[in-house]
Amino acid sequence: MLQQRTLKSLTRAVGVGLHSGQRVELTLRPAQPDTGIVFRRVDLPQPVDIPISATAVTDTRLASTISHGGAKVHTVEHLMSACAGLGLDNLYVDITAEEVPILDGSAASFVYLLQSAGIALQNAPKRFIRVIKPVEVREGEGKNAKWARLDPYHGYKLSFEIEFDHPAVNATGQRVEFDFGSGQYAREIARARTFGFTRDVEMMRANGLALGGGLDNAIVMDDVKVLNADGLRYSDEFVKHKILDAIGDLYLVGKPLLAAYSAYRSGHAMNNQLLRALLARPDAYEIVDFEHRSQAPQGFAEPAPAW
Ligand SMILES: [Zn+2]
């Protein structure tokens, strides 16, 4: 049987929120089979649990925000991406403020934290959402078009295309494909950092956003070039970060997808619309598990080593 996964032990991180600039402590704890991933605002007078789901996403401006009963957690996508990358099904995320710490702006710090705590196999079948009919969401026409879609695929692969007219971005790839079955998430995707432009940062700060952002947790560009002294971590780091985000946004559905995701200029809002469009079409998906590991798509029996 392909088993569910949680952590072996708890682990902690301290950082600041990208937008709030607020100091925040995160405690990642093991959870029982079939718990799913549950954020818990432990700083509130009465702690509030916020289980992940497509409909828990209530705000997608700049980052993905989930909420429940008036309590919120902003910027969950990089941590969710790391959880997807390591195949974690069950986890408690205790958090002391309303935004996940940005750490280094990628998912690599979360991957490191989760791997350091160790991954435990649980005695329950791991369940997937298998897409069996295409689902697409689309907005705008011609140059302004944006779309995202899911097609049936025995495995999970993603392709993403951006269209940023900026010299630093034009000089790198604007399209990337990644197959989850390759087992290369931690190496090829997780280290891609979020990015921003100095001209936007000033406007965002004036609006109380990006207060925790800087050169140590984002790629920052002026009108012509990257300002980070060490340059880029991947030659196509920009579009790879968009795939990292999409992996995190899509994992908010609560189970790993078996599908081919493709997107053109999509973002947090459209990724969530795609999940909602999928769930609105019960004929377009089914929940499956794998009694024998050999039935699982290649690379899925071991998304990350468990020990
Ligand atoms: Zn991001």
Per-residue pLDDT of the chain (307 residues; tens, 9 = 90+): 999 999 999 999 999 998 889 999 999 999 999 999 999 999 999 999 999 999 999 999 889 999 999 999 999 999 999 999 999 999 999 999 999 999 999 999 999 999 999 999 999 999 999 999 999 999 999 888 999 999 999 999 999 999 888 888 888 888 999 999 999 999 999 999 999 888 888 888 888 888 888 898 999 999 999 999 999 999 999 999 999 999 999 999 999 999 999 999 999 999 999 999 999 999 999 999 999 988 999 888 776 765 5
78 is catalytic: no
Rounded distance from Cα 210 to ligand 1 centre (Å):
13
Phi first, then psi, for residue 140 (nearest 5°) are 75, 175
* Distances from the Cα of 75 to the Cα of 8, 108, 149, 169, angstroms: 25, 15, 23, 24
- Amino acid, single-letter form, for residue 82: A
- 8 Å CB contact between 22 and 97: yes
Rounded distance from Cα 78 to ligand 1 centre (Å):
6
Tokens found for residue 112: 């490191």
Rounded distance from Cα 219 to ligand 1 centre (Å):
11
The DSSP element (H or E) to which 197 belongs, if any, is strand 195-197
The pTM score is 0.96
- 8 Å CB contact between 226 and 220: yes
CB neighbour list of residue 248: distance below 8 Å, 6 or more residues apart:
64, 76, 77, 78, 79, 80, 81, 82, 84, 107
pLDDT of residue 23: 95
pLDDT of residue 305: 67
Rounded distance from Cα 108 to ligand 1 centre (Å):
12
pLDDT of residue 205: 85
pLDDT of residue 31: 98
pLDDT of residue 306: 59
Rounded distance from Cα 264 to ligand 1 centre (Å):
16
Rounded distance from Cα 17 to ligand 1 centre (Å):
13
Rounded distance from Cα 245 to ligand 1 centre (Å):
5
Rounded distance from Cα 244 to ligand 1 centre (Å):
7
pLDDT of residue 14: 96
Choosing from 68, 241, 268, 292, the catalytic residue is 268
